[in-house]
């Protein structure tokens, strides 16, 4: 679940009074997401019209307040460019970010759609095209945020988890240290850069029927190698529960991406290294949460071992062809 | 939180296909309630019209499936009589109750409004009148369900908690056993009976502005003394956080109730005993949950001690006048 902060009647009324969105007629905490408190908010401006839906987010301690203007500015930029994502609602004073119940808070538009509980190759194809459009739409965004979940961030997480990693899987500490060493030496540094989502797991991608309706949750977005976003999606969308790669899904993802944004030879060749890095990144954060989760937060930590399996897969591939498509077929 | 059962895409599609409510365009788990899994469901029948809201409930293990026809039938009955509460949606086969993800499940209409985080006397007045209307509207409901949370239910809970009650408050076990003995000897048995809600805490009562918009969560509803519902509300609405009774709130509740449904002398006189019983009931269930809560369910158990304070208050009152209004003033 994800409602950490309770909002009182008076605080909510004062907060909503800063916006031109009418009167609140319903507010319900949403039991999804693990980082922030999210509420479904319904308001009525015209008593004869049906309620309008919004999402009210209170940013909890994992989000750094000084980074919120980047995230909200990015959503504004993308939505203004016609990309389907939550749009920050601005108050009468022009601000999208204010305070509620002692937390930074914002209201964004409600996005219809459901995230796929069971991923199909068609979902992966839709995802690939949408991610490529995101990368193109982000090109002229003027904000900048370093990816704090890249190599230097992993080094910190390795230090923080090394001592107890073997409690989860015997030998895990050595595996991680060796992998980090390998990545340090081989991490690609000259790939095309831009705005990436950096957390495009299925629960952040909405569909209406078989068509993608929009992306949500931009609170890990940052500037990094665009192809690293693809590598995250290969990890997040293309593996089956038995830890095998579904090549049909990976091929659909890559081909569809390349049909919207051309993938360079360097980007294609870097995929196995990027995929190892992405697997290590989620292995480390899940491991950290597993070892340090707060019982009082009532969040069930996700099993880190899934990403150990994915890491092992990427360690063993011969080259990017393992993801189901050759470079010539990709751009052909 | 309260989402215990995850629903897969295919299961949801098949389930919704049994109804004439259009296509699902959004489903979000709601982080409120502790008994069942609740989802906010949005559907579209006409692509040009705004989505329709519903609540989808999957009944978890605390609800006995054979009792669901009583609860759903009661909501049908009340809604048909113009009482504001969730209305069960019937499928094309006429059934309101079916199965989803291995659980009994139903869709009910969405009720606008917010439950009050901070209770005022005006809320209590609205509540009193609405509860009285509920009691009148339930009079011709043909279903019957004994209150399993009355004296015999308390006896079971006392047995189940006695051994460890003193872990929570030293001496609590003796207090409870003595109180149960007192209640057994004094529990009123000849009061007017009917359908009661039996769980009218603030989070089950919705308001739009200062006006009550409806009652929800009828899954403790049963046939019992009508005045017992009032006693539950005195406990649930009229005490301040320092454990003192707010007489203004209690008076508003009682006066407003009596303005809709006449309270008999017997009912009025029985209030202190009924209020002791109601305090014991919630003390016992909270104590049981406190001692037996399942870490894996990620539900924070509520503190039972609040209701020990209320019980002590009711033990010490001289008579029903302690709730702020004389019998003559009540019906005058």
* Pair A252, A191 in one domain: yes
* Residues in chain B with pLDDT values less than 70: 1-4, 33-34, 294-300, 332
CB of B101 within 8 Å of a chain A CB? The answer is no
Domain termination residue (choose one: B109, B130, B147): B109
Q: Which of B82, B117, B216 is nearest to A24 (CA)?
A: B117
* Pair B136, B96 in one domain: no
Residue B162 maps to a domain: yes
Q: What is the mean pLDDT of residues A282-294?
A: 90
DSSP assignment, residue B30? B
* Pair B202, B89 in one domain: no
Residues of chain B in contact with residue A299, where contact means CB-CB under 8 angstroms, are 298
Q: Are strands B23-29 and A222-225 parallel, antiparallel or unpaired?
A: unpaired
Residue B316 maps to a domain: yes
DSSP assignment, residue A81? T
* Pair B211, B293 in one domain: yes
Residues of chain B in contact with residue A51, where contact means CB-CB under 8 angstroms, are 53, 112
Q: How far apart are CA B89 and CA B72, in angstroms?
A: 10
CB of A51 within 8 Å of a chain B CB? The answer is yes
CB of A209 within 8 Å of a chain B CB? The answer is yes
pLDDT for res A293: 78
> Using CB atoms, which residue from B2, B27, B112 is nearest to A25?
B112
Contacts with A74 (C-beta within 8 Å, 6 or more apart), sequence order: A138, A141, A143, A195, A218, A221
Confidence of residue A262 (pLDDT cuts 50, 70, 90): very high
Q: How far apart are CA A235 and CA A306, in angstroms?
A: 10
Residue B115 maps to a domain: no
Q: How far apart are CA B97 and CA B62, in angstroms?
A: 17
Confidence of residue A298 (pLDDT cuts 50, 70, 90): low
* Pair A215, A258 in one domain: yes
Query: Which pTM does this prediction carry?
Result: 0.89
Q: What is the mean pLDDT of residues A213-239?
A: 97
Q: How many CB pairs under 8 A join A and B?
A: 89
DSSP assignment, residue A2? -
Residue B33 maps to a domain: yes
Q: What is the mean pLDDT of residues A148-152?
A: 92
> Using CB atoms, which residue from A23, A26, A114 is nearest to B26?
A114
* Pair A159, A81 in one domain: no
CB of B45 within 8 Å of a chain A CB? The answer is no
Which residue segment(s) compose the domain that A325 sits in? Answer: 121-330
Tell me the HSE value of A37 on the side-chain side, using a 13 A CA sphere.
22
Q: What is the mean pLDDT of residues A106-127?
A: 96
Interface of B with A in 239-278 (CB under 8 A): none
* Pair A150, A246 in one domain: yes
Checking if the pLDDT of A297 tops 70, the result is no
Token representation of residue A309: 């399996």
Q: What is the per-residue pLDDT across B94-130, written as a single tens digit (0 to 9) for each?
A: 999 999 999 999 999 999 999 999 999 999 999 999 9
* Pair A131, A278 in one domain: yes
**Rounded to whole angstroms, what are the CA distances from B13 to A215, A287, B7, B19, B101?**
22, 35, 10, 10, 12
Q: Which of B34, B21, B44 is nearest to B92 (CA)?
A: B21
Rg (CA), chain B: 20
CB burial string A231-256: b at 16+ within 10 A, e below:
bbbbbbbbbeeeeebbeebbbbbbbb
Q: How far apart are CA B208 and CA A332, in angstroms?
A: 59
Q: Are strands B52-58 and B211-215 parallel, antiparallel or unpaired?
A: unpaired
CATH of the domain at A57: 3.30.200.20
Cβ–Cβ below 8 Å for A30 and B32: no
Domain termination residue (choose one: A62, A87, A109): A109
Domain tally for chain A?
Answer: 2
Residue of B22, B114, B123, B214 best to disrupt the A interface, most CBs of A under 10 A: B114
Confidence of residue A332 (pLDDT cuts 50, 70, 90): low
Provide ipTM, 2 decimals: 0.84
CB A161 within 8 A of CB A177: no
Residue A115 maps to a domain: no
* Pair B210, B277 in one domain: yes
Q: How far apart are CA B332 and CA B180, in angstroms?
A: 35
Residues of chain B in contact with residue A114, where contact means CB-CB under 8 angstroms, are 9, 24-27
Residue A245 maps to a domain: yes
Checking if the pLDDT of A7 tops 90, the result is no
**Rounded to whole angstroms, what are the CA distances from B265 to A194, B270, B275?**
76, 8, 16
Cβ–Cβ below 8 Å for A1 and B118: no
> Using CB atoms, which residue from B26, B31, B295 is nearest to A1?
B31
Could you give the 3-state DSSP secondary structure of residue B246? coil
CATH of the domain at B224: 3.90.1200.10
Confidence of residue A224 (pLDDT cuts 50, 70, 90): very high
DSSP assignment, residue A268? H
Q: What is the per-residue pLDDT across A69-99, written as a single tens digit (0 to 9) for each?
A: 999 999 999 999 999 999 999 999 999 999 9
pLDDT for res A1: 40
Could you give the 3-state DSSP secondary structure of residue A289? helix
Cβ–Cβ below 8 Å for B113 and A25: yes
Widest CA span in chain A: 64
Cβ–Cβ below 8 Å for A30 and B25: no
Domain termination residue (choose one: A109, A137, A154): A109
CB of A24 within 8 Å of a chain B CB? The answer is yes
Could you give the 3-state DSSP secondary structure of residue B212? strand
CB B25 within 8 A of CB A112: yes
In chain B, the residue whose alpha carbon lies closest to the alpha carbon of A43 is: B112
Q: How far apart are CA B100 and CA B125, in angstroms?
A: 39
* Pair B261, B139 in one domain: yes
Residues of chain B in contact with residue A208, where contact means CB-CB under 8 angstroms, are 25
* Pair A193, A138 in one domain: yes
Shortest distance between the Cα of B150 and any Cα of chain A, in A, equals 31
Shortest distance between the Cα of B49 and any Cα of chain A, in A, equals 10
* Pair B288, B190 in one domain: yes
Confidence of residue A5 (pLDDT cuts 50, 70, 90): confident
SS3 annotation, A232-252: HHHHHHCECCCCCECHHHHHH
Residue B1 maps to a domain: no
CB of B32 within 8 Å of a chain A CB? The answer is yes
CB of B34 within 8 Å of a chain A CB? The answer is no
Q: What is the mean pLDDT of residues A263-274?
A: 97
């Amino acid at each position: 679940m994800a409602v950490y902060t309770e909002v009182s009647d008076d605080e909510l009324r004062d907060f909503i009074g800063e916006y031109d969105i009418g009167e609140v007629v319903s507010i319900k905490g949403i039991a999804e997401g693990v980082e922030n408190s999210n509420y479904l908010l319904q308001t009525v401006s015209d008593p004869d019209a049906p309620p309008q839906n919004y999402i009210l987010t209170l940013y909890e301690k994992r989000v750094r307040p000084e980074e919120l203007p980047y995230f909200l500015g990015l959503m504004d930029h993308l939505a203004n460019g016609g990309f389907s994502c939550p749009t920050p609602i601005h108050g009468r004073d022009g601000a999208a970010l204010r305070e509620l119940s002692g937390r930074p808070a914002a209201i964004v538009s409600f996005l219809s759609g459901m995230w796929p509980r069971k991923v199909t190759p068609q979902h992966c194809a839709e995802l690939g095209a949408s991610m490529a459009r995101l990368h193109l739409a982000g090109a002229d965004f003027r904000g900048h945020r370093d990816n704090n979940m890249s190599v230097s961030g992993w080094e910190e997480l390795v230090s923080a988890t090394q001592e107890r990693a073997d409690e989860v899987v015997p030998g895990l500490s050595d595996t991680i240290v060796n992998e980090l060493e390998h990545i340090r030496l081989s991490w690609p540094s000259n790939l095309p850069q831009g705005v990436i989502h950096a957390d495009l797991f299925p629960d952040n991608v909405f569909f209406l029927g078989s068509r993608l309706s929009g992306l949500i949750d931009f609170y890990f977005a940052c500037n990094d190698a665009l192809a690293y976003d693809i590598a995250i999606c290969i990890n997040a969308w293309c593996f089956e529960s038995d830890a095998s790669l579904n090549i049909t899904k990976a091929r659909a993802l890559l081909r569809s991406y390349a049909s919207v944004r051309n993938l360079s030879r360097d980007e294609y060749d870097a995929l196995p290294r990027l995929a190892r890095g992405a697997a290590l990144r989620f292995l480390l954060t899940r491991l950290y949460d597993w070892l340090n989760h707060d019982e009082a937060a009532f969040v069930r930590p996700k099993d880190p071992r899934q990403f150990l399996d994915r890491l092992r897969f990427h360690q063993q591939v011969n080259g990017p062809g393992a993801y189901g498509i050759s470079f010539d077929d990709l751009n052909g």
